[in-house]
């Protein structure tokens, strides 16, 4: 085996352990941790893909320049006037890497060699995972990943209390959940540099970073105690900040893919820790939705024509270098998604071929869906942030909403 700086790569001859998902979790176990970089076997004639792919300008924009070419890296520097003539959704296909994704995914799942080196297969390690959720011998009717920050001890406690209450109300549903967290930020507090701009992360996320500066050991002791007491922590080795949510998302996809039962479960839920789910509504949704849709779609609150946030003062800031177009590819909003069991492996693999440093995690999911041809389906009673206030008198209960809705 040999390693590229950004990937877990193996060359010929055939090695049955080099595929994704792994045949057994033991294949990715290293000294009690789990290496979730996608293992890729490269063909002898693999394409390093060092040169940016060129596109005809007229293929991406309604212009008359027939022979002029452009690369993704050139797009941010085109006159903004030309973007009025952009061809949606064709332009989204230029997002790196533009490779035959479905073919690559099929080959990696089968352990066959591929012709393209994954540029975004960064080393990621799961340091701790639950022994009672998505572990050998465990069975659940619903598996939930809660996107949570390592600093948010009180939030985890409140969520556990809520889930205990939901379980009492619905003993017929066996629910397993984990809190997906990373490591404490080592320095910098709430101050970041985004695309060359200084950013002051406001709100609770920034407050927590500031409060725990220099207290990394204290935080790790807290997490170790929670692991022993509750066994509900999924700990990745990335720095846990708002701007690393895409790293958290990749970790979540690969954990679901490598560890969880995709036969018993038709879908998996991912949810922000400031939102809650209604198990009654989830049951109703599951009964009323075709199984094939549950297993192959991403369900959630879908953003169909969202504009890029261009102010560097906001935490949703996207630079033109990161996303040169002004209207996002359709994507499932970040507060919660239901991801089909039949597509989670494909998404885990595609994440190694889709740039995520650094982009909003929900926009990233939308781009993966685009590359794989995955259907995004809007669920009307999944409410984002303050949306629930418009629906307090609705007869149909919320399936997902901000925690205040359920208070």
Task: Find the angle CA(158)-CA(273)-CA(407) to the nearest 5 degrees.
Answer: 55
| Region of poorest pLDDT, from 63-67, 148-152, 196-200 | 63-67
The partner residues of 255 in beta bridges, in order of sequence, read none
Q: Containing H/E element for 168? A: helix 153-169
At 252-278, the pLDDT tens digits run 999 999 999 999 999 999 999 999 999
Task: Find the angle CA(14)-CA(20)-CA(23) to the nearest 5 degrees.
Answer: 80
- Look at the chain and count its residues: 407
Q: Classify 252 as helix, strand or coil.
A: helix
Report yes or no: 271 and 400 within 8 Å, Cβ to Cβ: yes
At 57-103, the pLDDT tens digits run 999 999 987 789 999 999 999 999 999 999 999 999 999 999 999 99
Q: Classify 135 as helix, strand or coil.
A: coil
pLDDT computed for residue 69 by the predictor: 96
Q: Classify 114 as helix, strand or coil.
A: strand
**CA dist., res. 11 & res. 21, Å (int):** 18
At 229-252, the pLDDT tens digits run 999 999 999 999 999 999 999 999
* CA distances from residue 231 to 47, 144, 147, 152, 217 in whole angstroms, order as listed: 43, 14, 16, 16, 20
Report yes or no: 69 and 55 within 8 Å, Cβ to Cβ: yes
Q: Classify 81 as helix, strand or coil.
A: helix
Question: Is a pLDDT exceeding 90 seen at residue 109?
Answer: yes
Q: Does domain 126-405 have CATH number 1.50.10.20?
A: no
pTM of structure:
0.95
pLDDT computed for residue 292 by the predictor: 99
At 359-383, the pLDDT tens digits run 999 999 999 999 999 999 999 999 9
Report yes or no: 39 and 58 within 8 Å, Cβ to Cβ: no
pLDDT computed for residue 378 by the predictor: 98
**Ranges of CATH 3.90.550.50 domains, the chain:** 126-405
pLDDT computed for residue 262 by the predictor: 98
pLDDT computed for residue 396 by the predictor: 84
Phi/psi of residue 269, each to 5°? -105, 135
Question: Is a pLDDT exceeding 80 seen at residue 131?
Answer: yes
Q: Classify 88 as helix, strand or coil.
A: coil
- Overall average pLDDT of the 174-201 stretch: 94
Question: Is a pLDDT exceeding 70 seen at residue 8?
Answer: no
Contacts of 11-16 spanning 24+ positions with Cβ under 8 A: 11/41, 11/42, 11/44, 12/41, 12/43, 12/44, 12/113, 14/41, 14/111, 15/41, 15/111, 16/111
């Amino acid at each position: 085996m040999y390693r590229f700086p950004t990937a877990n790569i193996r060359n010929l001859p055939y090695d049955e352990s080099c595929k994704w998902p792994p045949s057994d979790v033991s294949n990715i176990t290293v000294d009690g941790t789990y290496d979730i970089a996608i293992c890729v076997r490269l063909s002898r004639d693999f394409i390093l893909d060092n040169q940016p792919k060129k596109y005809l300008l007229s293929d991406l924009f309604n212009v008359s320049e027939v022979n002029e070419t452009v690369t993704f890296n050139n797009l941010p520097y085109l006159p903004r006037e030309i973007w009025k003539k952009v061809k949606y959704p064709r332009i989204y296909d230029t997002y790196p890497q533009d490779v035959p994704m479905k073919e690559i995914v099929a080959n990696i799942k089968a352990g066959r060699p591929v012709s393209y080196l994954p540029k975004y297969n960064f080393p990621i390690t799961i340091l701790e995972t639950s022994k009672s959720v998505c572990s050998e011998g465990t069975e659940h009717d619903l598996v939930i990943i809660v996107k949570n920050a390592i600093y948010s001890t009180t939030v985890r406690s409140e969520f556990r209390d809520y889930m205990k209450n939901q379980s009492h109300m619905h003993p017929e549903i066996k629910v397993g959940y984990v809190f997906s967290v990373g490591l404490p930020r080592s320095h910098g507090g709430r101050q970041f540099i985004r695309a060359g701009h200084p950013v002051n992360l406001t709100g609770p996320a920034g407050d927590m970073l500031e409060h725990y500066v220099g207290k990394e050991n204290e935080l790790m002791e807290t997490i170790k105690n929670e692991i022993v007491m509750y066994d509900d922590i999924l700990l990745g080795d990335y720095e846990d900040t708002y701007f690393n949510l895409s790293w958290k998302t990749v970790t979540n996809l690969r954990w679901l893919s490598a560890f969880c039962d995709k036969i018993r479960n038709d879908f998996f839920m991912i949810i922000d820790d400031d939102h809650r789910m209604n198990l009654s509504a989830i049951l109703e949704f599951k009964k009323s939705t075709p199984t094939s849709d549950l297993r192959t779609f991403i369900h959630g609150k879908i953003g169909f024509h969202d504009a890029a946030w261009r102010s560097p003062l906001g935490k949703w800031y996207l630079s033109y270098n990161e996303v040169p177009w002004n209207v996002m590819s359709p994507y499932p909003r970040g507060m919660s998604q239901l991801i089909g069991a039949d597509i989670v492996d494909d998404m885990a693999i595609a994440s190694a071929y889709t740039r995520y440093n650094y982009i909003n995690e929900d926009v990233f999911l939308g781009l993966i869906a685009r590359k794989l041809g995955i259907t995004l389906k809007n669920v009307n009673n999944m409410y984002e942030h303050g949306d629930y206030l418009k629906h307090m008198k609705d007869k149909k209960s919320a399936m997902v909403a901000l925690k205040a809705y359920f208070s």
